[in-house]
Structure 1
Amino acid sequence: MGSNYSLLASNISIEFLNENSNIYETGQNIHGFIEFNDDNNNNQIEHIIIELIGELVYTNYRRKGRSTLVTTHQVPFFIQIINLNMKKQEKKLTFNFYLNDYLPSSFEQNHFQGSYIHYFIRIRSLDNQLKKDFPIIIKRPLEILQGKFLEIENKNLDNIQLKFLLKNNLTFIGQHLPFQIDLHNPNHRTIHRISVTLIQLRKLGPIKEERTIILKENLINFNKFQDEHYSQHFQIHIPYGINSSCSYFIPNKSFQWLIFVQYEIYIKVHIRGINKNTSFTIPIVINHETDVTLPSNYDSQSTV
């Protein structure tokens, strides 16, 4: 890009006419102004293209001999275009886009070279020598998610029985998830600790499912616990900055992408000896609001 076009791109600004600035929900309109702030360079272009783009970015790895070929794909799945002819000395252009209801939320990268979904408004000239992107964040409206009562038991080879009780497996971003653990240790084996891991399972389009550890911590560290019974209430904090549980398709003429986000917690009792640990996995549902449908047996007054 030539120096004049670079200078012109640096003098383009955008104003979103929205109380949340560049954060929108599907089903809404994105409207605002594009402004050119440099009088000297404003006359260099006559035609402006404004695009709203939703794009999936993912990486493929392929072995070739002793090397690994890394290919990054940037696949647009949603494009709206506005073509505008600029009048002489015109400094401000208006734009308006509609966000279809089926669109997925924005998804950040979970790890280096991980997949993500992002949206942006691109302003460019007809010859593409002028180009500047402005990011926006898309969220889906609140969905009613159903929770349920869970009671799970497991027993290892030493007859150590682990029981997990969860009054409601529906929880919320930024809040605590309470649960109860009961241990029956009839042979008085040595137990060192109980750990918990919160795992996100995510699939974005054509790539394989991603498993990401959101948090991992010890619920309790024992000093060589050997009693026959142990029972305790615990809770974990659901962190901010994660996507809500969801599952839906992106329709397209040439493909249909499955998008889903699921969560599970992995409870493990660490016992002295080889292959004697006992554990299990519990599915949970995470929402970003508290306006939800609770199961009929949920006790709203229960505490941990």
Structure 2
Amino acid sequence: MINVTFDRPQPTVYHGGDIVSGRINMTIPGNADKIHDIHLIVTGDVGYTTTRTTRMQNGQTERITDHHNIRIFEQKVTIGQGMSSGHNEAGGRINNRASFEPGQYVHPFSVRLPDSLPPTVHPTDYPFVRYELQLFIEKKWYNQDGQCRYPLRVYPRVNLLQKINSQCAVKFDTKRNDIKIRGIIQRAGLIPGEQTNLSLEIYNPNHVTIKRIDVCLIQRYEIEQCRRRLELIRFAVPELVNKNDTHIEASCPITVPIGISPTYNFKNKNGSTSVHVNLHYDIKLEVKVKGIFSDFDLQVPIIIGTDSAENPKFGNATKVPSLLADLNAIDMLELEARDDATLE
């Protein structure tokens, strides 16, 4: 029996430059297959799909989906002589091939992550950015090797103080169907768990009935040619339900969910292989108006970071108990990601 115990409660968020550390615990019974080596590998992979059309022998065409997997990070550690055993003073290695003898073993490990890595995105299916800690158990040649996988959530560090205009308010306006909307988002740059304020001023000279205005926080990501969007939050502005006044003012708070990844643009080229991951956010206003084909929407880009002037060490948020539930909620939301043919 073998398992990994991490020094930080799981699930958690590791940031670029962090150290993934813990212990490998292994119990080998007397009747177990000989284990020669144990390899610990921390990996980062980007996966995406492309489609192509081929012509079959009968003249018909067929669309084929190709799956691409690009490894962007790998660090391997071979576990062996350093393992401490409760039963074997010699470290549990015998013969020239160095097998583990029956007993209990403990081995600490630590792997430092590179500073520049794209954030974990949709790790369960294509397209994805996925990080894992893997254990490979090497046995005798005639026995099947074993493997254990532990998912890791990795985000790059994004300091909002280094982003131009991230501390400024965002002003926007639009005019559709005789309705003019002006708005202000209190600040362009936010970190998870932070709250900002949305203020709206509406000019409606023709007394058109505004049934409601929905506010959505949208995550958009592009992995090579694959584009997806994910709706993180949605709510209606309470003061704007069935209104037809000529002049309306309203405001509402927007809270950024804890656990979401930061805005990031990653490009990597290794020989003939290149990969591009772009992740960004916008606040989308969906205006529902009485009448056929009268609804319209507008999108306002914002920046999500991990550090700000008010909260310089977002990494401490990984110790907040509610983060476990928030990360699980993000995992469930990612299952609902949809194609985004109009990524902006």
Q: Same fold (TM over 0.5)?
A: yes
Give the letter for the 2:167 counterpart: G
Distance 1:223 1:75 in 2: 49
Give the letter for the 1:115 counterpart: F
Q: What is the aligned partner in structure 2 of residue 186 from structure 1?
A: 205
Give the letter for the 2:112 counterpart: Y
Deviation at 1:129?
1.8
> 24, 41, 53: which one pairs with 1:34?
24
Q: RMSD between aligned alpha carbons? A: 3.2
Q: Tell me: CA distance 1:249–1:20, structure 2 relative to 1, closer, same or farther (3 Å).
A: farther
Mapped contact 1:53–1:122 kept (Cα < 8 A):
no
> 208, 232, 239: which one pairs with 1:214?
232
Q: Tell me: CA distance 1:233–1:96, structure 2 relative to 1, closer, same or farther (3 Å).
A: closer
Deviation at 1:229?
0.6
Q: What is the aligned partner in structure 2 of residue 230 from structure 1?
A: 248
CA displacement, residues 229-279 of structure 1 (integer Å, 9 cap, x when unaligned): 101112222222321212232353443322222111121332222343453
Deviation at 1:191?
2.0
Mapped contact 2:118–2:265 kept (Cα < 8 A):
no
The correspondence of residues 24-63 of structure 1 with structure 2, limited to 5 A, is 24-41=14-31, 44-60=34-50
> 113, 138, 147: which one pairs with 1:125?
138
SS at match of 2:226: coil
CA displacement, residues 83-137 of structure 1 (integer Å, 9 cap, x when unaligned): 355614273445443322222333345x865524222232231656222223333
Q: What is the aligned partner in structure 2 of residue 97 from structure 1?
A: 111
1:140 aligns with 2:153: no
SS at match of 2:291: coil
Give the letter for the 1:99 counterpart: L
Q: What is the aligned partner in structure 2 of residue 149 from structure 1?
A: 169
Give the letter for the 1:272 counterpart: K
SS at match of 2:196: strand
Q: What is the aligned partner in structure 1 of residue 86 from structure 2?
A: none
1:243 aligns with 2:257: no
Distance 2:171 2:249 in 1: 14
SS at match of 1:225: coil
Q: What is the aligned partner in structure 2 of residue 107 from structure 1?
A: 121
Deviation at 1:151?
1.8
Number of equivalences: 279
Distance 1:223 1:167 in 2: 23
Which sits farther off after the overlay, 264-273 or 84-93? 84-93
Mapped contact 2:121–2:130 kept (Cα < 8 A):
yes
Over the matched positions of the two proteins, sequence identity in percent amounts to 20
Q: Structure 2 stretches of 5 or more lacking a match?
A: 55-59, 82-92, 95-100, 312-344
Mapped contact 2:264–2:280 kept (Cα < 8 A):
yes
TM normalised by structure 2 equals: 0.69
Distance 1:135 1:231 in 2: 47
Which sits farther off after the overlay, 21-30 or 132-141? 21-30
Q: Tell me: CA distance 1:106–1:41, structure 2 relative to 1, closer, same or farther (3 Å).
A: farther
Deviation at 1:25?
3.0
Distance 1:29 1:172 in 2: 22
Mapped contact 2:48–2:128 kept (Cα < 8 A):
yes
CA displacement, residues 18-66 of structure 1 (integer Å, 9 cap, x when unaligned): 3556753322343443232123256612233322221224445566769
Distance 2:159 2:19 in 1: 20
Q: What is the aligned partner in structure 2 of residue 269 from structure 1?
A: 287
Distance 2:28 2:120 in 1: 33
Q: Tell me: CA distance 1:161–1:286, structure 2 relative to 1, closer, same or farther (3 Å).
A: same
Give the letter for the 2:113 counterpart: L
